[in-house]
Amino acid sequence: MTVRTRFAPSPTGYLHVGGVRTALFSWLYARKHGGRFILRIEDTDRERSSMESVNAILEGMTWLGLEYDEGPFYQTNRFSRYREIIEQLLASNHAYLCYCTREELASMRAEQMARKEKPRYDGRCRERHSPREGVSPVVRFKSPLEGRVVIRDLVRGTVIFQNNELDDLVLARTDGTPTYNLTVVVDDMDMGITHVIRGDDHLNNTPRQSNIFYALGKEPPVYAHVPMILGPDRQRLSKRHGAVSVMNYREAGYLPEALLNYLVRLGWSHGDQEIFSVAEMIKLFDIEDVNQSASTFNSEKLLWLNQQYIKNSAPEHIAHHLSWHLGQLGIDPSKGPDLAAVVKAQQERSKTLLEMAHNSAPFYREFEAYEETAARKHLNASVLGPLRDLRERFKEAQSWVAPALHEIILATVESHHLKLGKLAQPLRVAIMGRPISPPIDVTLELMGQATTLARIDRALAWIDHRSNA
């Protein structure tokens, strides 16, 4: 049997990190077993679905590298197939037309509540054989009245539901459009899905879906219901807790592999190992080892992982992601020093790519203004002499590489009887606009001779102007 898993998001908003986690688990499971991973867009709710949201899903999956082998399949393209199955269920007497009006359903509900019963449809149209004038019917599933559904869930173990707890769910609305439980079953069946890995908010749908499978003469797939991700207050992770959209993490400067690594570890572990390459995840991850209890999202840990990935990844790889961030800042990284070399200089000092992009921007474009406190502290008249001298020496430099530049700086501070920092910090502010940069010699090498001289000139003029003001 070839394993076939799917990710089936509804395009009604952004791609939520919780959704990504189930997508990741489904993807890993397929990859581990040499199977196929399918993307299905559950867009039957036309009012809430949007093209932007579909794009956010596709963009997120691409960014994360969760490539799908089949799809995306859109449920809105499959209405005729759903209709066919609904007709089949009606013909085989597994479904019936229900003519109850909204008012009737409401009073049924009120009576049940008054009797302290669980509100449910009582099946009164099961035996109705004639239409009701002026009422468009819905189609309901004839849920078995006795027996039970046994679900062997790879995460939760055996879960049993009594059929008398389930009422006759609607399969098609009055306008004929199919409902979620019907479309999911038809799709999982037609797409040959062997393992459904999804959030445990769907656990209660599973006995209903299983009964529809049985009514169609099919075995349901194997299920694995993954616990929810919680915020620090133990409530389901939502916007209130901060970023939940995958693209927010991209914008905030996370590497996709750091996010995947973080998500795979939520509710799953392998000894005390924290860092997993994607290849290791595929090898070591098993859905059966996922914890049953919900896990709490810890943004500090994610940040720590991101920093580890930034430190330890190949500069060329980081450069690829960093160039996107520079683009967001309106910077064209081809106009300036080699981006991988900049990354190499910055890797040790960045927790996020956003931070790295901000700190690297001065290599690619003139900064607007000096950071105020830094300029006040470091760019003053006392440094004019040494800085002018340094500029002359830089102008004469034979070779523009870090060790040679280091020597020049040392020689300058010596001849002015200064401590290194008394010249290096003003120089840094002059070159970068702020007192933070990679080692100053490396910074200068990356900046190049012409820009270095121009920025020293700018600082000299600025000090002159300020001291005369």
The answer to whether residue 10 forms part of the interface with ligand GLU (CB under 6 A) is yes
Stretch that binds ligand GLU, among 5-13, 55-63, 76-84, 426-434 (CB under 6 A): 5-13
The mark string for 222-241 relative to ligand GLU (x by CB under 6 A, - otherwise) is --------------------
116 is annotated as an active-site residue: no
| Whole-angstrom distance, CA of residue 326 vs CA of residue 353 | 9
CA angle 370, 372, 373 (to 5 degrees): 125
Distances in Å between the alpha carbon of 435 and those of 27, 351, 424? 45, 18, 9
CB nearer to ligand GLU: pick between 198 and 265: 198
The answer to whether residue 207 forms part of the interface with ligand GLU (CB under 6 A) is no
Stretch that binds ligand GLU, among 8-16, 229-237, 375-383, 413-421 (CB under 6 A): 8-16
Q: Interface residues for ligand GLU in 13-42 (CB under 6 A)? A: 42
Cβ 6 to ligand GLU, closest distance in Å? 7
| Whole-angstrom distance, CA of residue 24 vs CA of residue 18 | 10
Cβ 10 to ligand GLU, closest distance in Å? 4
Q: Interface residues for ligand GLU in 250-279 (CB under 6 A)? A: none
The separation between CA 202 and the C-alpha centre of its own chain, rounded to angstroms, equals 21
Asked whether the bond before 72 is cis by omega within 30 degrees of 0, the reply is: yes
8 Å CB contact between 68 and 39: yes
Supply 317's token pair: 């790889």
CB nearer to ligand GLU: pick between 37 and 370: 37
Cβ 199 to ligand GLU, closest distance in Å? 7
Q: Interface residues for ligand GLU in 387-446 (CB under 6 A)? A: none
| Whole-angstrom distance, CA of residue 42 vs CA of residue 310 | 35
Where does residue 198 rank: exposed (0-12), middle (13-18), buried (19+ CB within 10 A)? buried
CB nearer to ligand GLU: pick between 226 and 431: 226
Q: Of the residues 239, 301, 311, 395, which is catalytic? A: 239
Cβ 210 to ligand GLU, closest distance in Å? 12
Stretch that binds ligand GLU, among 4-12, 223-231, 299-307, 351-359 (CB under 6 A): 4-12
Q: Interface residues for ligand GLU in 305-334 (CB under 6 A)? A: none
| Whole-angstrom distance, CA of residue 170 vs CA of residue 237 | 30
Supply 311's token pair: 């430190």
CB nearer to ligand GLU: pick between 221 and 256: 221
CA dihedral of residues 367, 369, 372, 375 (deg, nearest 10): 80
| Whole-angstrom distance, CA of residue 97 vs CA of residue 329 | 58
The separation between CA 126 and the C-alpha centre of its own chain, rounded to angstroms, equals 45
Where does residue 90 rank: exposed (0-12), middle (13-18), buried (19+ CB within 10 A)? middle
Helix (H) or strand (E) holding 53: helix 51-64
The mark string for 41-80 relative to ligand GLU (x by CB under 6 A, - otherwise) is -x--------------------------------------
CB nearer to ligand GLU: pick between 70 and 355: 70
| Whole-angstrom distance, CA of residue 213 vs CA of residue 165 | 18
The answer to whether residue 9 forms part of the interface with ligand GLU (CB under 6 A) is yes
CB nearer to ligand GLU: pick between 203 and 460: 203
8 Å CB contact between 155 and 292: yes
Compute how many other C-beta atoms are within 10 angstroms of the C-beta atom of residue 162: 11
Cβ 42 to ligand GLU, closest distance in Å? 4
CB nearer to ligand GLU: pick between 8 and 440: 8
Cβ 63 to ligand GLU, closest distance in Å? 19
| Whole-angstrom distance, CA of residue 278 vs CA of residue 276 | 6
| Whole-angstrom distance, CA of residue 129 vs CA of residue 304 | 65
CB nearer to ligand GLU: pick between 125 and 184: 184
Stretch that binds ligand GLU, among 6-14, 28-36, 253-261, 264-272 (CB under 6 A): 6-14
Strand 36-41 with 70-74, pairing: parallel
User: For ligand GLU, which residue of 21, 202, 225, 428 counts as binding (CB under 6 A)?
Assistant: 202
Report the catalytic residues.
239
Applying CB under 6 A, the residues found at the interface with ligand GLU are 8-10, 42, 184, 198, 202
